[in-house]
C-alpha cells in the first residue's frame, strides 16, 4: 500500500486512474481546483485536495499535507477541438501546466521525499523524428524540427520530460501516451473528434501516410497504475499494438460511425486549413512501440487495436 498524490485526478485519465489505485489498496489524494468536484473525488475513493497547480504555495501545501510516496502528474487543459493553425495558442495553458506545473510538483515532492514521480507526456506528435521507420521506440531520437505552430508545445513537453528524468532524488517516469480514445475523451460517441469524422469534417490530407498510435483511456490508466507500483526511471510508450496510417484508420472510423468516406484533399489545401502542423500530423508523424511497457510493466492493453476499440468506445 502506498500514499499516491494524483494531480489531474478529475480528468479523462485521472478519473480512470484513481479508482484503479484505490482498488489496489493505495491511499489516493486527488487534486482539483474546484470545490464542486470534491464530491466526485470522494466517490472515486480519493481524499480530495483543493489546489491550483500554477500556484507554487498551494501545491507545496497540498503535497506537504498529503505526504505522498508517489506523485502522478496528469495536468492538461486541452480543448476538445484544437485549431491546428493556432496549436500553441490552444495549448498555452497546458504548456504552463507542463512547465511551471511540473516544476511546482517536483519541488513540492522533493520537500517531502517522494520516491516515484510519474508524469504524462505524449507519443502522438512532435516527439519522434519524422525519418526512418514508421514505428518508434523510446530510444529513437526526438524530432529536431517540430512544425512551426507547435514549437512551444513541443518545448513544454521536452521541459517536462527533462525535469522529471533529471530529478535524481526520485524515480522519474515519463509515460508517452498515444492518442486517447474512450469515455471522457474527445474520441468517443458524440464527442468532438468523432463528430468531426461523422460529419465529414476531418479530411484525409495527401497520402494520409502519417502513422498514429492510439490508446484506450482505460488501458492508459492501467499502464499508469503499473508504473506507479513498479515503474523504473525512464520513458515508456503507452500505446496500443496497432500503429496505423491515417489513410487506414480514418476511413475505418468513418465506416464504424456510419459516415461517408472522409474527403481527400491535396497537401496545399491541407496546409491552408490546418497549417504545417496539420499536414505533419496527416502525412509525417510516426507511431510508437509498446514493447518496453509490456516487458517492464507487465502490462497488456485490453484493447490491443483501435480496430475493435473504436467500436467499444
Ligand atoms: N494523449 C492524448 O491523446 C491526450 C492527453 C491529454 C488530454 N487529451 C484529451 O484532451 C481533452 C481534454 O482533456 P484534458 O486532460 O485537458 O481535460 P480533463 O480531462 O478535464 O483533465 C484536466 C485535469 O487537469 C486538472 N487541471 C487543469 N488545470 C489545473 C490547474 N490549474 N490546477 C489544478 N488542476 C488543474 C483538472 O482538474 P480540475 O478541473 O478538477 O481542477 C483535470 O483533473 C480530452 O479529450 C482528452 O482525451 C488527450
Q: Is the CB of 122 under 6 A from ligand 1?
A: yes
* pLDDT tens, residue by residue, 23-63: 999 999 999 999 999 999 999 999 999 999 999 999 999 99
pLDDT category at 312 given cuts 50, 70, 90 is confident
Q: Is the CB of 75 under 6 A from ligand 1?
A: yes
* pLDDT tens, residue by residue, 85-134: 999 999 999 999 999 999 999 999 999 999 999 999 999 877 899 999 99
User: 75: CA distance to ligand 1 center in Å?
Assistant: 5
Q: Which three three-digit cell numbers place residue 181?
A: 480514445
Q: Which three three-digit cell numbers place residue 97?
A: 501546466
* pLDDT tens, residue by residue, 148-194: 999 999 999 999 999 999 999 999 999 999 999 999 999 999 999 99
Burial class (CB in 10 A: 0-12, 13-18, 19+), 19: middle
pLDDT category at 67 given cuts 50, 70, 90 is very high
Question: What integer pLDDT is reported at residue 275 of this predicted model?
Answer: 97
Among protein residues, the one with the nearest Cα to ligand 1's atom 3 is 179
Q: Is the CB of 307 under 6 A from ligand 1?
A: no
Q: Using a cut of 0.85, tell me whether the model's pTM lies above it.
A: yes
Burial class (CB in 10 A: 0-12, 13-18, 19+), 292: middle
Q: Are 61 and 51 in contact (CB under 8 A)?
A: yes
User: 280: CA distance to ligand 1 center in Å?
Assistant: 24
Question: What integer pLDDT is reported at residue 124 of this predicted model?
Answer: 84
* pLDDT tens, residue by residue, 185-231: 999 999 999 999 999 999 999 999 999 999 999 999 999 999 999 99
Amino acid at each position: 500500500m502506498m500514499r499516491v498524490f494524483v494531480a489531474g485526478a478529475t480528468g479523462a485519465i485521472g478519473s480512470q486512474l484513481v479508482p484503479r489505485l484505490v482498488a489496489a489498496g493505495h491511499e489516493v489524494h486527488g487534486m482539483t481546483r474546484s470545490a464542486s468536484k470534491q464530491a466526485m473525488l470522494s466517490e472515486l475513493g480519493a481524499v480530495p485536495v483543493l489546489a491550483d497547480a500554477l500556484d507554487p504555495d498551494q501545491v507545496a501545501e497540498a503535497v506537504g499535507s498529503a505526504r505522498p510516496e508517489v506523485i502522478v502528474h496528469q495536468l492538461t487543459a486541452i480543448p476538445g477541438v484544437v485549431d491546428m493553425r493556432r496549436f500553441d495558442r490552444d495549448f498555452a495553458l497546458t504548456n504552463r501546466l507542463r512547465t511551471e506545473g511540473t516544476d511546482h510538483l517536483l519541488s513540492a515532492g522533493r520537500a517531502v521525499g517522494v520516491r516515484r514521480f510519474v508524469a504524462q507526456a505524449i507519443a502522438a506528435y512532435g516527439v519522434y523524428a519524422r525519418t526512418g521507420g514508421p514505428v518508434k521506440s523510446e530510444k529513437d531520437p526526438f524530432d529536431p524540427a517540430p512544425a512551426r505552430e507547435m514549437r512551444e508545445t513541443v518545448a513544454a513537453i521536452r521541459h517536462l520530460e527533462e525535469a522529471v528524468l533529471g530529478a535524481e532524488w526520485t524515480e522519474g517516469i515519463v509515460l508517452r501516451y498515444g492518442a486517447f480514445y474512450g469515455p471522457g475523451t474527445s474520441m468517443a460517441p458524440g464527442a468532438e473528434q468523432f463528430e468531426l469524422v461523422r460529419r465529414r469534417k476531418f479530411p484525409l490530407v495527401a497520402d494520409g501516410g502519417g502513422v498514429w498510435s492510439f490508446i484506450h483511456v482505460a488501458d492508459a490508466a492501467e499502464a499508469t497504475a503499473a508504473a506507479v507500483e513498479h515503474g523504473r526511471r525512464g520513458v515508456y510508450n503507452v500505446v496500443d499494438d496497432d500503429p496505423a496510417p491515417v489513410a487506414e484508420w480514418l476511413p475505418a472510423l468513418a465506416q464504424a460511425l456510419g459516415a461517408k468516406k472522409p474527403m481527400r484533399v491535396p497537401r496545399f489545401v491541407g496546409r491552408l486549413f490546418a497549417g504545417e502542423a496539420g499536414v505533419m500530423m496527416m502525412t509525417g508523424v510516426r507511431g510508437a512501440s509498446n514493447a518496453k511497457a509490456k516487458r517492464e510493466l507487465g502490462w497488456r492493453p485490453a484493447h490491443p487495436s483501435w480496430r475493435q476499440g473504436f467500436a467499444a468506445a
